[in-house]
Amino acid sequence: MGRHSCCYKQKLRKGLWSPEEDEKLLRHITKYGHGCWSSVPKQAGLQRCGKSCRLRWINYLRPDLKRGTFSQEEENLIIELHAVLGNRWSQIAAQLPGRTDNEIKNLWNSCLKKKLRQKGIDPVTHKPLSEVENGDDTGKSQGKAPEVSNELNLLKSDSSKSDSASYEQRTSISPKAYAPEMDGSCSSKIYCTSDSNFVTNNCYNKDLFLDRFVNSSRQESYNTSCQPSDLMGNFPIQMSYATNDCLPNDSNSAHWFGQTGRPFDMNSEFPFNAATSINHPTTPTTNLFLPNSFCYKPSLAVPSDSVSTAYGSHYWEASASNNSNSSIRSNGSTELKGSSPLNIFSSWGMAECSTSTTKEGQIHMMENHTEEAKWDEYLHNPISVLASVQNQAPESLCNQIKTSMHLVPDTLGAMLPHSTKQQEPSQTSSIFSKDIQKLRAAFGHM
DNA sequence: AAATACCCCAACCGCAATTGG
DNA sequence: CCCAATTGCGGTTGGGGTATT
């Protein structure tokens, strides 16, 4: 219990990480996965404790991290989530793709708290400061809707300076989304959020909502909790999870379920968004892999709708108007045809998405769990998986893509955040075109 | 220009929960 | 069930950069 044993050992480095250390860690994890963190520093040749390595990976080296300033949408979302979740940073972070709990915590402590106070809102209770100072705690028992509404109204006026779009259009969770289910004054409603719309489902009370909300952000939740069907029930959004039709019904993105429906959430240590965003039931067709208001950290010089992999970020564009005509291509103009990418990805990224009650859906779920198991195996024993893949006919592109993520070790330097020279998309393209070539070779028909 | 104050954020610390022998 | 190892989380710290005096 308590402090990690390795922390007691002498001669362990502390403090800021050097670029060399970063590269060592990144190379090691990319090549072998992290496995047991306590053994990572030794294997990677680092004078650090495993805990420090883990933290460095999660907060800094993970390839899916966004960097740069938080957008107004993100700030609003954090405030909204904090009103619901309090200081549960990891759960808040789970709703913000590419952001870490540490990052959000820092933002909150250094910036958002201040902003709220300036707006006359108590950052702890999310109530008007005047109300808090007067010792009026009636809001506690009556839900948070009023103060949240105040808060958001104030923020609306603030953010309107820089953005002409309406608040409801910009924010992921409409302020209206909170009020009814929080104040307990009406039948509980829960809202699927999209950029411009929200829909209701009269089946959840606040506690269940919170429970689901909290569970949804837990890393293990994709196996057991917060299935989209749990939350969405009668939502008037068409979704056919059990089939390949996991396509958006409209062009708006819904961030809410983007996290809950992902096989690797942002706190996982190997989050590959190629899989996760496919799960996103309302991800726009023009940006299949990421919610359209998020972009990747500029240090990697990746287009906003790119896929981040263990070897860096790669720009994928998917067009998928229907299953048979689906195509997926890299920014290197490498196009994979003939095998529907939705078929491909749904086979390993749909575990949580596959919520259909039909037999077909159940079958898919089983298949998906199998794929997850393979993926898990890959992460923890990549060499054996790689060997097995190379020695047999590929069963799914999933495996090939996963394998391909191991093929470009020389790009590591370019992905390191320390790297001052940004990698041009064309370079990224050429890097991945090699992968695509290997995929093609593996499949023959591609 | 130097000193000081302030701010941001990466990293550390310690506790709780989980896992596995 | 126990216990040690490990992981995850949230609070806190401290170094470095920037702004102010």
**Which nucleotide lies closest to A3 by the C1' atom and the CA atom?**
B14
* Torsion, CA A375, CA A379, CA A381, CA A382, rounded to 10: 90
A166 has a pLDDT exceeding 80: no
% of chain A exceeding 90 in pLDDT: 6
DSSP state of A286: G
Ramachandran angles phi, psi of A317, nearest 5°:
-125, 130
Angle, to 10 degrees, between the axis of helix A341-349 and the axis of helix A397-404? 80
Q: What is the pTM of this model?
A: 0.48
What integer pLDDT is reported at residue A135 of this predicted model?
Answer: 58
* Strand C nucleotides within a 7 Å radius of protein CB atoms: 4-12, 15-16
The highest-confidence range among A140-154, A171-185, A289-303, by mean pLDDT, is A140-154
* CB of A15 lies under 7 Å from some atom of strand B: yes
As a rounded value in angstroms, the CA-to-C1' distance for A76 and B6 is 25
What is the spatial distance, in angstroms and rounded to an integer, between the CA atom of A224 and the C1' atom of B20?
22
Residue A36 pLDDT more than 80?
yes
- Chain B nucleotides reached by a protein CB under 7 Å: 7-19
| A267 CB less than 7 Å from any atom of strand C | yes
Mean pLDDT of the residues in chain A: 49
Given a contact cutoff of 8 angstroms between Cβ atoms, the answer to whether A263 and A372 are in contact is yes
- A47/A376: higher pLDDT: A47
Instruction: Identify the weakest region by mean pLDDT among A53-57, A364-368, A413-417.
Output: A364-368
- With beta carbons less than 8 A apart as the criterion, state whether A275 and A345 touch: yes
Short-list A317, A314, A236, CA closest to A281: A236
Residue A10 confidence class, pLDDT cut points 50, 70, 90: low
Give percent of chain A with pLDDT exceeding 70: 27
**Predicted pLDDT of residue A99:** 92
Domains of chain A: 11-63 (1.10.10.60), 67-128 (1.10.10.60)
Asked if strand C comes closer than 7 Å to A54 Cβ, the answer is yes
Closest CA to A35 of A424, A413, A380: A380
pLDDT at A112 over 80: yes
Task: Give the span between the Cα atoms of A420 and A54, in whole angstroms.
Answer: 23
- Residue partners of A376: CB distance under 8 A and separation at least 6: none
